[in-house]
Structure 1
Amino acid sequence: MEVTKDNFKEVLPSVLSAIENADFVAVDAEFTGLRHHGTSKYCELDTPEERYAKSRAAAQSFGMIQFGVTTFRYVKEKFAYSHATYCFYLLGKAGDILYYDNNSLKFLADNGFDFNKLFKSGLPYLSLAQEAEKRAEYKTQSLEPQMPSPIKVAEENARKFLKETEAKMDAFMVDESQDVLLLPGSNISSFFRKILYNNIAALYQNILVRCVTTDSERNIEIRKFESSASRIKFLEEEREQRLDEKMGFTHVIHKILETGTPIVGHNLILDLFHMIDKMVQPLPEQHEQFKNLVKCNIPTIYDTKLIAKDPPFCVDIPITSLGILYSDLCTKYSPPDFNVEDGYESYNIEDNSKAHDAGYDAFMTGVCFVTMVKKLDGIHWKNKSVIKSKHLAPYANRVNNMNSYDIPFLNLVGADEPMKLVWVNSTFLYVIPLDDIDNKACKQHLKTLHANCPPLVRIRLYGDTGSSKRKSVSDEVPPGVETCASRVQEFKRLKSIGSDQLSKMTLESPSAEEAPPIVSGDNGNVKEL
């Protein structure tokens, strides 16, 4: 269902209800650009702090112009998932400056994005921080009527105009059936309008005089009240309504945060950064401050790209872009039934022709998530919603870290853990596979590493000479990957070498006894370049 400012008020109650009843929500967003031109590209050796700074710059520079939300809930009686999809067009608040990248807009246009709908009917939004600022500002503003000084009228036409207006006002004030009087304002001069504002407001109590525009015509609206208190109450409610309208799409994000509904995305680091920066508060400068912000405000997050890069999926589906992952999962595995909620657009899981529409991408993400967790749960998947699966624990609040040699994911609430891979210089990339990875999976990881290596970079696989499993892995490595044996003690010794020392070391052609420096972590997944 497409949602714009034209139908948002009507649709919002159903959106909030669907979120409240959902087991999880899948999200996706479209942006006006991906990389801030004042920062360097993502580097394979970025530290978490450097990667955060680059992603933060992109989120603060470009607009988020479409946001897809698909709610999923498990219907145990049918062993099926019921879903409802919403695609929101977002324009932000009046006065916002929208930056864009030509390539990004061309990509969206090539995929059918409706820019006319965006600029004509895009939804506003405010961050929760901006909402708080507005409310604090309201507390300092008085709604008591300001008594203007009456204007002395000398001209005959002006006196006649004022006299006629006073006669209308006298009749209006005693007419109990009428609360609002509209006087034509388009055909009178600014001086006559000022006479209305000043003189009428001074002559009559408990009224509100202001200019309003209806059907492209400007009128003077005069509204009467029983008392000063009722006038103030009216203005407070009206002000609250205006703020509510300015909040717009933020109500949807606020509901997700308020209910703590788990969020699922695909490669969602930029989606998350934009969502926080535009709907919660500006992204802080420091990486650790960002983690604290996530920990305090954001529910549990899962990244389907990260799940897809682990066995068994990385073996059967080596390409993890959303469209291909979705198609292969639906073909190679057995997705459960997905039933659309009444009144919503139905998607055929065998058709991905609507890819890059944020709503449809959110739907595909949710289907991928359910299908992968169902596979991990095996025969027990029917007992409960996949969101309660114990297999999700290693992926909670971790998002895929694109194009990184040694940090495959960013931990949103804890310390980032490098892989047990990892010295890279101009000639060699060194890899240490885990003991608990099966041979087939390890071989697939090495193929991925080899396929993505820059020119002239060679891969050497180091393993424990005492491990029969590592020997068998070494026997099955793909062409182009050299194997060497090295003592585990050497690896342990080199763990303590700091990054400053590592950067000064040169490794031209290490022998089997010369282990490469490594950065160690508990995660240890050999995943991708």
Structure 2
Amino acid sequence: MEVSRQEFAKKMPMVKAAIDECDFMAIDTELSVESCYLPFRNLEIGLHRPGTGKRIETRDFRYNEYKEASERFAIIQFGLCTFKWDEPSGRYIAKAFNFPIFPTSFAGGRSQPNRVFHVQAQAFDFLAKQAFDFNKVRTSDSKEGFKSITYPPLPLYNKINAWIESTAQKKLVDKDGINIHATNGYQRRLVYQEVRNKFEGLVAEGRRGYIRVIRLTKEQEVERNKEREEQFKVDCENAVGFRKVIDWISESKKPLVGHNMLLDMCHIIGQFMQPLPDSKEEFKTLAKRLFPIMIDTKHIAISTPEMAEIADGATDLENMRFETSREAFKNPRVDMDWEFPRYLEEKAHEAGYDAYMTGTVFIKMVSFLGKNKELESPIIQPAFSIDLSSAFIIIESRRNPKETVPEVDETETVEPEEEKRQDEVVSADNGGWDTEPDDDVDPNWTIDDEEVYNYGSTWVRLLEDNGEPTPLLASIANKAALVRAAFHYFDFTKEEQGIIKQSNTFVLHLNQQALSDNETATKLLGEFGPFIVEPIGDKVTLVVYERPLADRNVVQQGLTESLKTAVAGGVRVDSVVDYLV
């Protein structure tokens, strides 16, 4: 469902109700910058600084990179999709919302200056190829679309100052005001703005064909200030705008799903909640407090052996949607709510549709993993099974479990023709369905709301009765996938543990501070190529090479020998391949 600025207030109750009733939510963002890694260029597209030129980066660098990107670029489209288990139909019902986002200026710029942000040409070129409608983004703030209009400055000051001086000298002029003629909307806006900002005690009022600048009496000024205060309150309410949706998501404390979501979370928090803190540790605490259960489907695809084998390295959202559409992932069934027909057809790279895909991939992967893991508290709780040949019996027994079958008066006689008709209605040949002629059907007849076809798929338990994640969900929650790093994921709750087991990584049994303070040791590390240093605990440091200039054993032996002279007593060096055994 598209939620434009014009319909925002009208549709907010529907958005709030969907968040309140759902089991979990998925989000996606489209940015004014493209954040994809192009291996052949060895750089991160979309970040305002060029990076270090390395194929790998430290966690601190990556966070600072994303922090600065969130300050300079903006979300221009936000997708939210809620998912609710519907037991009568045995499926999840999705409600997807697509919000065009554009920074507001408090209803025309009356209360604060416009926000300035960067736009990356490559990002807009990519979105344009995906049929992205930029006018919807712009009209989320005004109706003019993307336009760039410049007009020459209007000579206001001399004219108004001359009038003020004439009235002070009591010359024969219009002492009540002065008329300003503006030829277009831009000039009219400029008159209102400049009179308000530059001339205390004066006010501009629109008239037919001109603008009247007048001096207010004390009584009028008091009344006008009162009106401004009331308008300011309205402006504040309008300016909060989409922030309400983010607040509702945060307050719900429900599982929030994204795909490759670290950059998304930086932008969401930085753009709508508060400025991002300087350190990644503070950011982790803030993000976990605002969104207690974050799940990254890319992390699931990378970190769980079952999904990693299926994905085979292709963990982009489109491929994961394809893989989870196979027979092994048929449960649970996910359908779009009938009031949300926008995404019955694919609209890839529209944020609302991508959020729908992300949530669908998530629930199918978790269901699949639950079936393949023998947990003490199984994640899969089956809905009631159904035999299609006796569908009505099962549905009726669930709908009215306490009703008793009325007793039949055996003395009541049934006419032969009537008895035959009844036999035809419930005979085994027609499966128990009514086969009476359509002529006898009431034209006003509608299906009973409770008589819903059940797809027989399974409900996935995500939270325990106390609101805490189930063991399986807890094992994958609050971890976001990392690329070009020493770790598989960014952990929102603690120090990262998922070290990537690769031959270019070595373990120095020396704390990072001691290593950083030793210029000789750092220089020796560089003899085997560009590298990054990551601490793991207080006594051990990872050294990860972009492309080691020698075999793993040669590098290990060379570092061990070289560091003997640089560090008193030497440093023990292990290959991470051996360290993680």
Q: 1:96 aligns with which of 115, 118, 130?
A: 115
SS of aligned partner of 1:510: helix
- For 2:460 and 2:356, how far apart are their aligned partners in 1? 17
Q: 2:300 aligns with which of 303, 307, 315?
A: 307
SS of aligned partner of 1:305: helix
Alignment of 1:56 onto 2:50: no
Match of 2:462 in 1: 387
Superposition deviation, residue 3 in structure 1: 1.9
Alignment of 1:271 onto 2:264: yes
Structure having the higher Rg:
2
Q: 2:125 aligns with which of 95, 102, 106?
A: 106
Match of 2:13 in 1: 13
- For 1:415 and 1:237, how far apart are their aligned partners in 2? 49
Superposition deviation, residue 262 in structure 1: 2.2
Alignment of 1:107-146 (within 5 A): 107-122=126-141
SS of aligned partner of 1:330: coil
- For 1:267 and 1:123, how far apart are their aligned partners in 2? 32
- Give the residue type in structure 1 aligned to 2:318: G
Q: 1:510 aligns with which of 525, 529, 553?
A: 553
SS of aligned partner of 1:77: coil
CA deviation profile, 1:99-140 (whole Å, cap 9, x unmatched) = 12222111111111111222233489xxxxxxxxxxxxxxxx
- Give the residue type in structure 2 aligned to 1:387: L
Superposition deviation, residue 424 in structure 1: 1.0
- Give the residue type in structure 2 aligned to 1:12: M
Superposition deviation, residue 400 in structure 1: 0.6
- Give the residue type in structure 1 aligned to 2:553: P
Would the aligned equivalents of 2:181 and 2:209 in 1 still touch at CA under 8 Å?
A: no
Superposition deviation, residue 88 in structure 1: 1.0
Give the TM-score normalised by the residue count of structure 2.
0.58
Match of 1:327 in 2: 322
Match of 1:66 in 2: 77
Match of 2:477 in 1: 396
- Give the residue type in structure 2 aligned to 1:517: D
**How many residues are treated as equivalent by the alignment?**
394
CA deviation profile, 1:376-406 (whole Å, cap 9, x unmatched) = 23393435544324311111111111233x3
Match of 1:144 in 2: none
Would the aligned equivalents of 1:42 and 1:54 in 2 still touch at CA under 8 Å?
A: no
CA spacing shift, 1:337–1:508, aligned 2, 3 Å: closer
Would the aligned equivalents of 1:401 and 1:409 in 2 still touch at CA under 8 Å?
A: yes
Q: 1:297 aligns with which of 269, 290, 300?
A: 290
Give the TM-score normalised by the residue count of structure 1.
0.63
Match of 2:494 in 1: 414
Superposition deviation, residue 520 in structure 1: 9.4
SS of aligned partner of 2:78: strand
CA spacing shift, 1:420–1:11, aligned 2, 3 Å: closer
CA spacing shift, 1:381–1:375, aligned 2, 3 Å: farther
Q: 1:87 aligns with which of 98, 105, 108?
A: 98
Match of 2:337 in 1: 341
How much is the aligned-residue C-alpha RMSD, in angstroms?
4.5
Superposition deviation, residue 6 in structure 1: 1.7
- Give the residue type in structure 1 aligned to 2:231: E
CA spacing shift, 1:391–1:521, aligned 2, 3 Å: farther
CA spacing shift, 1:89–1:340, aligned 2, 3 Å: same
- Give the residue type in structure 2 aligned to 1:394: S
CA deviation profile, 1:399-436 (whole Å, cap 9, x unmatched) = 111233x30000012111142625517xxx99xxxxxx
Superposition deviation, residue 499 in structure 1: 4.4
- Give the residue type in structure 1 aligned to 2:307: F
CA spacing shift, 1:101–1:7, aligned 2, 3 Å: same
Match of 1:282 in 2: 275
Match of 1:31 in 2: 31
SS of aligned partner of 2:30: strand
Alignment of 1:189-338 (within 5 A): 211=204, 235-309=228-302, 310-318=304-312, 319-332=314-327, 333-338=329-334
- For 1:263 and 1:521, how far apart are their aligned partners in 2? 36
- For 2:207 and 2:9, how far apart are their aligned partners in 1? 20
Match of 2:174 in 1: 158
- For 2:316 and 2:322, how far apart are their aligned partners in 1? 10
SS of aligned partner of 1:312: helix
Match of 2:155 in 1: none
SS of aligned partner of 1:517: strand
- For 2:206 and 2:367, how far apart are their aligned partners in 1? 56
- Name structure 1 gaps, 5 residues minimum: 125-147, 163-182, 203-208, 431-456, 458-494
CA deviation profile, 1:161-204 (whole Å, cap 9, x unmatched) = 68xxxxxxxxxxxxxxxxxxxx99869xx9xx9xx99xxx99xx
Alignment of 1:445-524 (within 5 A): 498-499=541-542, 508=551, 510=553, 517-518=574-575
CA deviation profile, 1:428-482 (whole Å, cap 9, x unmatched) = x99xxxxxxxxxxxxxxxxxxxxxxxxxx9xxxxxxxxxxxxxxxxxxxxxxxxx
CA spacing shift, 1:38–1:391, aligned 2, 3 Å: same
Superposition deviation, residue 497 in structure 1: 5.4
- Give the residue type in structure 2 aligned to 1:79: G
- For 1:213 and 1:345, how far apart are their aligned partners in 2? 44
Would the aligned equivalents of 1:502 and 1:517 in 2 still touch at CA under 8 Å?
A: no
- For 1:57 and 1:88, how far apart are their aligned partners in 2? 24
CA deviation profile, 1:325-367 (whole Å, cap 9, x unmatched) = 102211242043334335322534xx5x411111100000011
Percentage identity across paired residues of the two chains: 25
CA spacing shift, 1:506–1:153, aligned 2, 3 Å: closer
CA deviation profile, 1:231-272 (whole Å, cap 9, x unmatched) = 877554422210111122111111111222321000111111
CA deviation profile, 1:12-44 (whole Å, cap 9, x unmatched) = 221122112222210000112233242416855
Superposition deviation, residue 216 in structure 1: 9.6
Would the aligned equivalents of 1:418 and 1:521 in 2 still touch at CA under 8 Å?
A: no
